[in-house]
């Protein structure tokens, strides 16, 4: 990292012109750079220019990075319990995560892949972000004012819930120029409760729409083949998913049988009109309206809800270009990317384009194993090549010219080796109308020799690339715990998170230390308590064996960053309360004895003294 210290900044003082870009080794790292190189090594106290929201993978959380430094500044637990904040321990977090009748968590593992944020006028608006759990078919929402997960939706009749993407505006109502829906792609076919006819197999995948505000599931669409990644148009009219299993197969060999699969488009306004008109069915196990998006039911363009555009063999990834005109679907098993023109897909739905495949305006070779695509502000696309271990930079307009016969159109602009086997990549504001073309991160699935060896489990390698010039420049390696998948990068001025909670936001808040006490109603006991450094408001909690206890703790400290913890020895309880936050836990006092309860977050010179006893009488 030290050798990167000389690389020039887009930091706070970013308007100063770049100094010579000479790392310790003496070589110029940013040849031909314009006015903005990128500093990855910030001086102590300097702040990053971008937030990165990273999927946490198996840990089921969202990692918040500062970029370009790559420093991890927060983990936001969503699907999996978290020992720092007591996620999955407090009653409030358990309610969001979902519990079984006995009060235990419904799920305590996850597999998150994709994170995306809410839009307004085609750009991020800093309200919400979402993340999926592929394993247990859940969608979590994160409030970006507090950087916490506040709701989790369960998708019915879906397994392998993979891609997500918010819509960017409403397809009908002009006034709704912001995200109101989140689309979710179901990858694995499952037997549906009352079946649906057609195809070799009765197992089906569903495309799901979740309401961005209420987080209720609005509707679902049964499709032929599978869903995978999702992209949405800037006019709100279409959502798209790549399909690698149009074969509806259950085994990988059969999933590769067809030479071409598809990119499937959903006509959002028509689907919602069909739901409104009652043209749907519901399955016995859920009330969610389900419309028929299969091939056979959508032959007439004028009434079709879906359109299947043919794309070469087992495509992966679909992305919407920032000029709002195209969707790009990468080939995976084909060395190509397919460029599909939005207006032509809409023409087909209007009966003005005869063959839906005529919406394809380019299908160009990029290299082996193309997966995901990001964009800059100069008409270029950046696609990961999994097998070639490269990022290829290519110009979309030139690719279209080449496809239409201009063999002099050089569409490949640059290639950069990455280390190794890249999956996702994303650039700053890439999939918005305002990409800034500065930094690009690549999630490399293999790191091999890039870090000190630590045994058989290697980290993944996330690499940062400067894309501000003609040539891509590799800036940094960052080891990361597997298997994080996807991420977005946005300007830091988009969010202004609150530093202290509001006491009134918590119905259970203990607003005055005088309200503290142990309140008994038969076996049910409520303990009310406050914390103010360096003391809890009670000196002792006296209980009887078998008591069903709910303990409520409000942190009355108002100072930014003054967090307290509360842990009960041998009772498996540990959580924190941030300034002005209230949290509660419920447990049965099943072990008699004396148990120290102590503050776990270093809060004061007397932090170690901040402890009380819980006495459980036999």
Binding site for Ca ion (CB under 5 A): 255, 261, 314
- Give the tokens for residue 559: 């100072």
H helices present in 277-429, as ranges: 342-349, 396-403
C-beta neighbour count of 327 within 10 angstroms: 26
What's the Cα-to-Cα distance from 509 to each of 148, 210, 297, 505, rounded to whole Å?
19, 31, 54, 8
User: DSSP assignment, residue 273?
Assistant: H
- Toward ligand RUQ, which CB reaches closer, 138 or 372? 372
Q: How far apart (Å, rounded) are the C-alpha atoms in residues 417 and 442?
A: 11
User: Which helix H or strand E contains 252, and what residues bound it?
Assistant: helix 252-255
Residue 27 Cβ vs ligand RUQ, minimum distance, rounded to whole Å: 32
Q: In angstroms, what is the minimal distance from the CB of 317 to Ca ion?
A: 15
CB 261 within 8 A of CB 225: yes
Long-range pairs for 463-466: beta carbons < 8 A, 24 or more residues apart: 463/418, 463/419, 464/38, 464/40, 464/67, 464/68, 464/70, 464/439, 464/440, 465/391, 465/416, 465/418, 465/439, 465/440, 465/441, 466/7, 466/30, 466/33, 466/37, 466/38, 466/438, 466/439, 466/440
Rule CB under 6 A: say whether 371 interacts with ligand RUQ: yes
Question: Toward ligand RUQ, which CB reaches closer, 96 or 140?
Answer: 140
Verify binding: residue 141, ligand RUQ, rule CB under 6 A. Answer: no
Q: Which does 610 bind (CB under 5 to 8 A by kind): ligand CUA, Ca ion, ligand RUQ, none?
A: ligand CUA
Yes or no: say if 466 and 476 are a contact pair by the CB < 8 Å rule.
no
Query: In angstroms, rounded to a whole number, what is the distance separating the alpha carbons of residues 323 and 402?
Result: 19
Which residue's entry shows tokens 């990468």?
A: 330
Q: How many residues does the chain have?
A: 618
Q: How far is the CB of 459 from ligand RUQ (least distance, A)?
A: 16
Closer Cβ to ligand RUQ, 29 or 245, answer by number: 245
When CB distances are held under 5 to 8 angstroms depending on the partner's kind, the choice from ligand RUQ, ligand CUA, Ca ion, none that residue 111 binds is none
Task: Pull the structure tokens for residue 363.
Answer: 């299908």
Contact partner, 371, from ligand RUQ, Ca ion, ligand CUA, none, Cβ < 5-8 Å per class: ligand RUQ
User: Which of 363/581 has CB closer to ligand CUA?
Assistant: 581
Between 100 and 251, CB nearer to Ca ion: 251
Cis peptide before 484 (omega within 30 of 0): no
165 within 8 A of 116, measured Cβ to Cβ: yes
Q: Give yes or no for residue 316 binding ligand RUQ (CB under 6 A).
A: yes
- The Cα–Cα gap between 594 and 155 comes to 45
For ligand RUQ, the closer CB: 229 or 529: 229
CB nearer to ligand CUA: give 471 or 607: 607
Out of Ca ion, ligand CUA, ligand RUQ, none, what residue 533 binds, judged by CB under 5 to 8 A for its kind, is: ligand CUA
Look at residues 482, 444, 487, 479 and name the one whose alpha carbon lies nearest to residue 58. Answer: 482
Residue 294 structure tokens: 């299969």
What span, in angstroms and rounded, lies between the C-alpha atoms of 326 and 318?
A: 10
Question: Residue 314 binds what, of Ca ion, ligand CUA, ligand RUQ, none (CB under 5 to 8 Å, by partner type)?
Answer: Ca ion
Binding partner selected for residue 478 from ligand CUA, ligand RUQ, Ca ion, none, CB under the kind-specific 5 to 8 Å limit: none
| Least spacing, CB of residue 114 vs ligand RUQ, in Å | 6
Residue 178 Cβ vs ligand RUQ, minimum distance, rounded to whole Å? 25
- Residue 83 or residue 273: which is nearer to ligand CUA going by CB? 83
Beta strands 326-330; 336-341: pairing state:
antiparallel
| Sequence-ordered list of residues with C-beta below 8 angstroms from that of 48, at least 6 positions apart, any chain | 42, 66, 67, 68, 69, 71, 492
Choice from 436, 486, 557, 581 touching ligand RUQ (CB under 6 A): 486
Give the CA distances from residue 399 to residues 39, 373, 410, in Å, rounded to whole numbers and listed in that order: 32, 14, 8
Which one among 41, 63, 75, 113 touches ligand RUQ, defined by CB under 6 A? 113
Which residues in the 410-449 window bind ligand RUQ by CB under 6 A? Answer: 423-424
In this complex, which beta carbon is closest to ligand CUA, that of residue 29 or of residue 531?
531
75 contact choice in ligand RUQ, Ca ion, ligand CUA, none (CB below 5 to 8 Å, kind-dependent): none
Contact positions vs ligand CUA (CB under 6 A): 533, 564, 599, 601-603, 607, 610
Q: Specify the residue, 24 or 608, whose C-beta has the smaller distance to ligand CUA.
A: 608
Instruction: Report 154-173 residues binding ligand RUQ (CB under 6 A).
Output: 162
- String of contacts with ligand RUQ for each residue 7-46, x by CB under 6 A: ----------------------------------------
Do residues 148 and 134 touch, judged by C-beta distance below 8 A? no
Q: Which of residues 86 and 126 has its CB atom nearest to ligand CUA in the complex? A: 86
237 is a site residue for ligand RUQ (CB under 6 A)? no
Residue 607 interface partner, choices ligand RUQ, Ca ion, ligand CUA, none, CB cut-off 5-8 Å depending on type: ligand CUA
Q: What's the closest the beta carbon of residue 206 comes to Ca ion, in angstroms?
A: 19
382: helix, coil or strand? strand
Residue placing its CB nearer to ligand CUA in the complex, 139 or 583: 583
Position 335 contacts ligand RUQ (CB under 6 A): no
CB of 613 to ligand CUA, least distance (A): 16
Q: Which of 397, 383, 381, 337 is nearest to 363 (CA)?
A: 337
Name the residue nearer to ligand RUQ (CB basis): 114 or 141: 114
Q: What is the CA radius of gyration of the chain?
A: 26
**What's 503's DSSP letter?**
G
- Cβ(139)–Cβ(215) under 8 Å? yes
CB of 445 to ligand RUQ, least distance (A): 7
Residue nearest to ligand RUQ (CB): 423
Counting contacts by CB under 6 A, is residue 485 touching ligand RUQ?
Answer: yes
Strand duo 380-385 + 390-395: pairing: antiparallel
Output the smallest distance, CB 267 to Ca ion, in A. 24
* Residue 443: CB minimum distance to ligand RUQ, A: 7
Which of Ca ion, ligand CUA, ligand RUQ, none is residue 316 near (CB under 5 to 8 Å by kind)? ligand RUQ
> Pick from ligand RUQ, ligand CUA, Ca ion, none: which does 261 bind, CB < 5 to 8 A by kind?
Ca ion
User: Under the rule (CB under 6 A), what is the footprint of ligand RUQ?
Assistant: 113-114, 162, 316-317, 371-372, 423-424, 485-486
């Amino acid at each position: 990292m030290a050798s990167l210290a000389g690389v020039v900044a887009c930091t706070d003082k970013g308007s100063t012109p770049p100094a010579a870009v000479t790392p310790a080794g003496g070589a110029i790292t940013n040849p031909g750079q314009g006015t903005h190189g990128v500093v990855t090594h910030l001086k102590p106290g300097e702040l990053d220019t971008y937030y990165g929201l990273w999927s946490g993978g198996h840990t089921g959380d969202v990692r918040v990075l500062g970029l370009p430094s790559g420093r991890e500044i927060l983990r936001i637990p969503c699907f999996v319990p978290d020992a720092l904040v007591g996620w999955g321990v407090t009653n409030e977090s358990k309610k969001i995560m979902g519990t079984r009748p006995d009060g235990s968590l419904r799920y305590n593992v996850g597999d998150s892949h994709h994170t995306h944020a809410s839009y307004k006028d085609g750009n991020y608006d800093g309200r919400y972000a979402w993340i999926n759990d592929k394993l247990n078919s859940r969608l979590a929402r994160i409030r970006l004012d507090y950087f916490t997960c506040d709701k989790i939706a369960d998708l019915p009749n879906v397994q392998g819930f993979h891609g997500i993407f918010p819509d960017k505006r409403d397809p009908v109502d002009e006034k709704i120029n912001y995200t109101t829906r989140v689309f979710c792609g179901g990858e694995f076919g499952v037997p549906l409760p009352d079946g649906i006819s057609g195809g070799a197999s009765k197992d089906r995948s569903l495309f799901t729409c979740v309401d961005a505000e209420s987080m209720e599931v609005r509707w679902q669409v049964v499709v032929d083949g599978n869903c995978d990644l999702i992209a949405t148009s800037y006019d709100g009219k279409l959502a798209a998913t790549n399909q690698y299993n149009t074969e509806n197969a259950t085994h990988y060999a059969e999933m590769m049988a067809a030479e071409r699969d598809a990119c499937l488009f959903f006509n959002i306004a028509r689907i919602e009109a069909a739901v409104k008109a009652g043209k749907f069915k519901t399955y016995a196990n859920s009330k969610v309206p389900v419309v028929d998006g299969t091939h056979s039911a959508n032959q007439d363009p004028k009434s079709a809800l879906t359109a299947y555009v043919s794309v070469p063999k087992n495509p992966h990834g679909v992305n919407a270009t920032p000029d709002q005109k195209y969707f790009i679907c990468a080939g995976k098993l084909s060395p190509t990317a397919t460029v599909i023109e939005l207006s032509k897909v809409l023409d087909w739905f209007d009966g003005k384009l005869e063959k839906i495949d005529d919406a394809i305006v380019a299908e160009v070779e990029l290299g082996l194993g193309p997966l995901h695509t990001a964009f800059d502000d100069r008409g270029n696309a950046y696609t990961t090549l999994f097998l070639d271990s490269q990022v290829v930079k290519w110009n979309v307009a030139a690719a279209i010219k080449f496809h239409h016969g201009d063999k002099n159109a050089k569409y490949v602009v640059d290639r950069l080796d990455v280390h190794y086997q890249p999956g996702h990549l994303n650039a700053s504001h890439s999939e918005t109308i305002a990409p800034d073309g500065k930094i690009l991160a690549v999630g490399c699935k293999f790191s091999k020799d890039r870090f000190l060896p630590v045994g058989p489990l290697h980290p993944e390698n996330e690499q940062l690339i400067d894309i501000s010039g003609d040539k891509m420049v590799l800036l940094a390696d960052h080891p990361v715990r597997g298997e994080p998948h996807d991420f977005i990068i946005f300007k830091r001025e988009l969010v202004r998170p609150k530093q202290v909670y509001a006491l009134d936001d918590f119905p259970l808040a203990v607003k005055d230390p005088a309200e503290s006490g142990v309140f008994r109603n038969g076996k049910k006991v409520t303990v009310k308590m406050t914390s103010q450094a360096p003391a809890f408001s009670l000196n002792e909690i006296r209980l009887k064996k078998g008591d069903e206890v709910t303990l409520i703790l409000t942190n009355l400290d108002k100072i930014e960053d003054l967090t307290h913890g509360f842990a009960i020895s041998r009772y498996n309880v540990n959580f924190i309360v941030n300034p002005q936050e209230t949290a509660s836990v419920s447990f049965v006092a099943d072990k008699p004895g004396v148990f120290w309860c102590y503050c776990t977050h270093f809060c004061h010179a007397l932090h170690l003294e901040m402890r009380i006893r819980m006495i459980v009488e036999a």
